[in-house]
Amino acid sequence: MPTTVYDIARKAGVSAATVSRVLNGRGGASDATVEKIHRIAEHLRFRPKTVLNRRLSVVVPVPSKPHFFASYFLGQMLSGVSDVLFLAGCELRFLPFAWHDPAVAADPMRVLKVRHADAAVFLYVTEDHAYVDRVARAGFPHVAVSAGFSAPHVYMVDCDHYQSTYRAFEYLFDLGHRNIGIICAPVKFPAHAERLRAYRAACAKYGGPADDRFVVFAGGTGSEDGHVAAMRLLSLRKRPTAVFASNDNIALGVFNAARKLGLHIPQGLSVVGFDDYEFCAHLNPPLTTVRQPIYEIGRAAAESVVRQMRGEKDIPRHVIIPAELIVRESAAPPGKNRHG
């Protein structure tokens, strides 16, 4: 049986992800660990299991904002994807088409064939995901990631958006909050719609029906979008004692709005985010947030399409990777040291 990265990981006493990063030259380990992994790989005569003449195209919609590839989410996701593809001998390419253009959405397979793609990883899937359905029904190797919806014929890798968000609201209710607001990214993204659904369910269980005044929709997913939405929410005569932001960029905007309004976090306002971007631990105070396993989702997505290209059987259609609530210092019981 051929040696795998898992065999090397066991002998080296590290994770398979660390082995992947080291073998494709991405680093992320000490010099001693790098040397040890290469020594073990050579000893075990490790050779990447290739998919001959295969190219994997990562398909993304045309971005509507600049610096699209500077996104932390995209960077982590593509790191996971590329680590797996490198070891599988696949090529990673980008097809920046407007998938929601009616002509493209009506015949996405034509676009993929023109570009000689052998598989597709769909990122940033919105509620209008007919193009994903068409690719899936054509039997083309594919996977949708962090999509927030399910369909029996679509290969999908995601986290548990609903359950992990529900746990975040349970945490705020356990702290004693009853007036909790939510700033939600546009619900055209099913993942954010799931987070809103969890908010309504948690309110119904712990505090009665959600107060619609406390439900504010941001114009986008950036920090400025969060700031504008937070100014509306926090300017209410009766404002919430806690705010859940449906991603960490929006949470950053809430921090800025609270500072502008003279509200101290968490003394005057508790804030919880979603994703656990790198900056969260360095905010003042550090942000309590749901850690979405972005890198792991990327790896699992790439493993799915590689297995499909190899013609393997019994590949899971839906893979759900648990998310984790990371408790830091941005949330506290309501009214605690309110004038601190």
pLDDT above 70: residue 64: no
Geometric angle at alpha carbon 330, from 328 and 332, rounded to 5°:
100
Backbone φ and ψ for 110, nearest 5 degrees, come out as -60, -40
CB 238 within 8 A of CB 179: yes
Strand-pairing partners, residue 216, are: 183
Q: Quickly count: other Cβ atoms within 10 Å of residue 283's Cβ.
A: 20
Separation of alpha carbons 314 and 300, rounded Å: 15
**What would the 3-class secondary structure string for 236-304 be?**
CCCCCCEEEECCHHHHHHHHHHHHHCCCCCCCCCEEEEEECCHHHHHCCCCCEEEECCHHHHHHHHHHH
Number of helices (H), then strands (E), in the chain: 12, 12
Output the DSSP codes for 35-103. HHHHHHHHHTT------TT-EEEEEEEPPSSS-GGG-HHHHHHHHHHHHHHHHHTPEEEEEEE-TTSHH
**Lowest mean per-residue pLDDT among 2-11, 150-159, 167-176, 240-249:** 2-11
pLDDT above 50: residue 338: no
Under the banding of pLDDT at 50, 70 and 90, the label for residue 305 is very high
Q: What pTM, to 2 d.p., does this model score?
A: 0.80
Q: What pLDDT, on a 0 to 100 scale, did the predictor assign at position 68?
A: 63
Q: Is the dihedral of CA 169, 174, 177, 179 positive or negative?
A: positive
For range 5-11, the mean pLDDT: 87
Q: Which of 167, 164, 140, 168 is nearest to 154 (CA)?
A: 140
Q: What pLDDT, on a 0 to 100 scale, did the predictor assign at position 130?
A: 80
Q: What pLDDT, on a 0 to 100 scale, did the predictor assign at position 113?
A: 81
Under the banding of pLDDT at 50, 70 and 90, the label for residue 330 is very high
Q: Quickly count: other Cβ atoms within 10 Å of residue 86's Cβ.
A: 19
pLDDT above 80: residue 53: no
> In this structure, what is the dihedral angle of CA atoms 277, 121, 15, 29, given to the nearest 10 degrees?
-60
Amino acid residing at 210 = A
CB 258 within 8 A of CB 234: yes
Q: What is the mean pLDDT of the chain?
A: 86
pLDDT above 80: residue 49: no
pLDDT above 70: residue 97: no
Q: What pLDDT, on a 0 to 100 scale, did the predictor assign at position 339?
A: 37
Q: What is the pLDDT of residues 238-255, one digit of tens each?
A: 999 999 999 999 999 999
Q: What pLDDT, on a 0 to 100 scale, did the predictor assign at position 20?
A: 79
Q: Is the dihedral of CA 72, 75, 81, 84 positive or negative?
A: negative
Q: What pLDDT, on a 0 to 100 scale, did the predictor assign at position 117?
A: 84
For range 30-34, the mean pLDDT: 84
pLDDT above 50: residue 150: yes
